[in-house]
């Protein structure tokens, strides 16, 4: 998970652990210490200089943090920090993997960062698209095994065979009341000229799940908006696979290493480098943490499509979208 079990008292040792693996002879990109400083300040009320902070040994860390769930969250943070980069050195990938091995942690993100460090993009796509929560939802579909065998990786994300029934279900959302969740989703697609699931060229229903969350959380579909909704989602669920989704999205839209199979044009990265970008991600993480319902597991948004969007936000304790906070001084 991500900041689910760790608490503010853990922040100093967490920060030192990330520095120990990811900083090495210096940060690869200035966005890394900026992201860490912002997230630790916002979620843990902890401030330090990530450029000068002393590292910690694995042995010392093991004694201070024996809980496996907390250790895994620290590893998630290491992975997130490195996936912000446009290049990942094998040395840093190896360092993170050594920590995981010595701490007894199994984490799907380890294969992703290892393959990206080797520039094995095709393998990295397999790591990502078959480990995130979209794939979990794919597997729940009785038709997916056939589609996967016939179309391969594309079937994990895209509509690869026409379904008039599915397409009509989404198109019919236009008849829901203005201000409802369902009409909000219909507007979200139409305003962006997106193609509905069920139509060739559109995403599949598994991926469409995250578009409902876009609407609920009021995040756009540009690069920074995709990072925001992934951050928000990973905090608003008990799904481990949502963390993998967040990690991959960081690499697609900020690092630019992982290539999406959804959009027609490749993403070049650096989408977090907008005004108050790291602050926006920290706010998204905090907003997701406050949600009182699991937005990924065991929920069918069509069951709520007729309800007013604002009523659902209040019922599920989705905080209003805040203006970006002033940048944290480096």
Give the residue among 109, 111, 117, 112 at the shortest CA–CA distance from 91.
Answer: 117
The pLDDT of residue 329 is 55
The CB-based long-range contact list for 92-97 (8 Å cut-off, 24+ gap) reads 92/21, 92/22, 92/24, 92/117, 93/117, 95/20, 95/21, 95/24, 96/21, 96/22
Q: Is the pLDDT of residue 328 over 80?
A: no
pTM of structure? 0.95
State the pLDDT confidence band at 95, using cuts at 50, 70 and 90. very high
The pLDDT of residue 88 is 97
Contact at 8 Å (CB) between 174 and 298? no
CA distance to 118, 180, 181, per residue, from 318 (Å): 40, 16, 14
What token pair was written down for 273?
């480098």
Q: How far is CA 263 from the centre of its chain?
A: 17
SS3 state at 203? strand
Who wins on pLDDT, 262 or 88?
88
Give the residue among 209, 208, 129, 199 at the shortest CA–CA distance from 161.
Answer: 199
State the pLDDT confidence band at 265, using cuts at 50, 70 and 90. low
For 42-66, what is the mean pLDDT? 97
The pLDDT of residue 325 is 47
Measured from the Cβ of residue 168, the count of other Cβ atoms closer than 10 Å reads 11
**pLDDT digits 0-9 by tens, 185-199:** 999 999 999 999 999
Environment class of 297 (CB within 10 Å of its CB; exposed 0-12, middle 13-18, buried 19+)? middle
SS3 state at 21? helix
Domain spans of the chain, in order of start: 8-315
The DSSP element (H or E) to which 133 belongs, if any, is helix 133-139
Environment class of 3 (CB within 10 Å of its CB; exposed 0-12, middle 13-18, buried 19+)? buried
Number of residues assigned to the chain: 330
Mean pLDDT of the chain: 94
State the pLDDT confidence band at 2, using cuts at 50, 70 and 90. confident
**pLDDT digits 0-9 by tens, 108-160:** 999 999 999 999 999 999 999 999 999 999 999 999 999 999 999 999 999 99
Q: How far is CA 11 from the centre of its chain?
A: 21
**pLDDT digits 0-9 by tens, 186-241:** 999 999 999 999 999 999 999 999 999 999 999 999 999 999 999 999 999 999 99
* Residue 41 backbone dihedrals phi, psi, to 5 degrees: -65, -45
Give the residue among 243, 265, 266, 240 at the shortest CA–CA distance from 255.
Answer: 266
The span from the CA of 44 to the CA of 303, in Å, is 36
The pLDDT of residue 324 is 41
% of the chain surpassing 90 pLDDT: 92
* Residue 214 backbone dihedrals phi, psi, to 5 degrees: -50, -45
Contact at 8 Å (CB) between 284 and 219? yes
């Amino acid at each position: 998970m991500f900041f689910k079990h760790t608490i503010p008292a853990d922040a100093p040792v967490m920060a030192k652990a990330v520095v120990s693996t990811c900083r090495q002879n210096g940060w690869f990109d200035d966005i890394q210490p900026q992201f860490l400083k912002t997230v630790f300040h916002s979620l843990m009320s902890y401030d330090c200089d990530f450029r000068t902070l002393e590292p910690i040994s694995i042995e010392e860390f093991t004694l201070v943090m024996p809980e496996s769930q907390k250790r895994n969250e620290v590893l998630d943070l290491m992975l997130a920090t490195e996936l912000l980069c446009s290049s990942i050195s094998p040395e840093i990938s190896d360092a993170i993997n050594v920590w995981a091995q010595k701490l007894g942690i199994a984490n799907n993100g380890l294969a992703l960062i290892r393959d990206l460090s080797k520039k094995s993009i095709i393998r990295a796509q397999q790591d990502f698209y078959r480990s995130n929560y979209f794939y979990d939802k794919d597997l729940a579909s009785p038709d997916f095994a056939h589609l996967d065998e016939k179309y391969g990786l594309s079937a994990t994300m895209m509509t690869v065979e026409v379904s008039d029934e599915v397409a009509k279900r989404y198109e019919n959302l236009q008849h829901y009341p203005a201000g409802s969740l369902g009409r909000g989703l219909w507007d979200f697609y139409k305003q962006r000229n997106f193609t509905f699931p069920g139509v060739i060229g559109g995403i599949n229903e598994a991926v469409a799940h995250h578009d409902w969350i876009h609407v609920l959380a009021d995040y756009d579909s540009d690069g920074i908006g995709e990072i925001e909704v992934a951050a928000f989602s990973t905090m608003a669920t008990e799904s481990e696979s949502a963390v993998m989704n967040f990690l991959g999205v960081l690499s697609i839209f900020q690092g630019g290493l992982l290539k999406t199979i959804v959009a027609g044009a490749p993403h070049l990265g650096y989408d977090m480098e907008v005004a108050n970008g790291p602050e926006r991600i920290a706010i998204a993480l905090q907003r997701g943490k406050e949600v009182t319902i699991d937005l990924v597991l065991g929920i069918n948004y069509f069951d709520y499509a007729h309800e007013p969007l604002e009523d659902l936000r209040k019922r599920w304790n989705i905080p209003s979208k805040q203006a970006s906070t002033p940048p944290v001084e480096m």
